[in-house]
């Protein structure tokens, strides 16, 4: 069965530090899709990025970057020069055909990032 592991339950950093949030996934499928979501203290879930299994190109968006490595089944998320506004819970998710053919998303447990001023 497909699985997403976010081993870091909580990370605490000081503003301007770089921080990496880990995401390790498991699936038997060769075609799958990975996602990151942000949940700020206000509670809503905000989509950040998606990555297809056949596209291993890393992506950078401002202070955010994502490192997708099929060899280690990881899709890690790095925030450079963290800011207080980055404080949130971050979820990694996986969609693959393995989930009964319906691409039902599987979410990790989330990593709570606390950025101190």
Partner 1 sequence: NAGVTQTPKFQVLKTGQSMTLQCAQDMNHEYMSWYRQDPGMGLRLIHYSVGAGITDQGEVPNGYNVSRSTTEDFPLRLLSAAPSQTSVYFCASSPLTGAPNTEAFFGQGTRLTVV
Q: Which is nearer to partner 1, 82 or 106 (CB)?
A: 106
Q: Which is nearer to partner 1, 77 or 95 (CB)?
A: 95
Residues that bind partner 1 (CB under 8 A): 6, 9, 33, 35, 37, 43-45, 47, 50, 52, 91, 93, 95, 97, 102-105, 107-110
Contact 21, 113 (CB under 8 A): yes
- What DSSP assignment string belongs to 16-51? T--EEE--EEE-S-SSEEEEEEEE-TT---EEEEEE
- Quote the least distance from Cβ 112 to partner 1, whole Å: 9
- Quote the least distance from Cβ 31 to partner 1, whole Å: 8
- Quote the least distance from Cβ 102 to partner 1, whole Å: 5
Task: List all residues 6 or more positions away from 107 whose beta carbon is below 8 Å from its beta carbon.
Answer: 4, 91, 92, 93
- Quote the least distance from Cβ 12 to partner 1, whole Å: 15
Task: List all residues 6 or more positions away from 39 whose beta carbon is below 8 Å from its beta carbon.
Answer: 45, 46, 88, 89, 90, 91, 110
Q: Which is nearer to partner 1, 33 or 64 (CB)?
A: 33
């Amino acid at each position: 069965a497909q699985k997403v592991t976010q081993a870091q339950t909580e990370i605490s950093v000081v503003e301007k530090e770089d921080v990496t949030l880990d995401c390790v996934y498991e699936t038997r499928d060769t075609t799958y899709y990975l996602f990151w979501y942000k949940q700020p203290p206000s509670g809503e879930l905000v989509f950040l990025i998606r990555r297809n299994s056949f596209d291993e190109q890393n992506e950078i968006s401002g202070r955010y970057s994502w490192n997708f490595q099929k060899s280690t089944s990881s899709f890690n998320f790095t925030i450079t020069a963290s800011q207080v506004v980055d404080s949130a819970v971050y979820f990694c998710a996986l969609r693959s055909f393995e989930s009964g053919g319906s691409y039902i998303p599987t979410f990790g447990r989330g990593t709570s990032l606390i950025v101190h001023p």
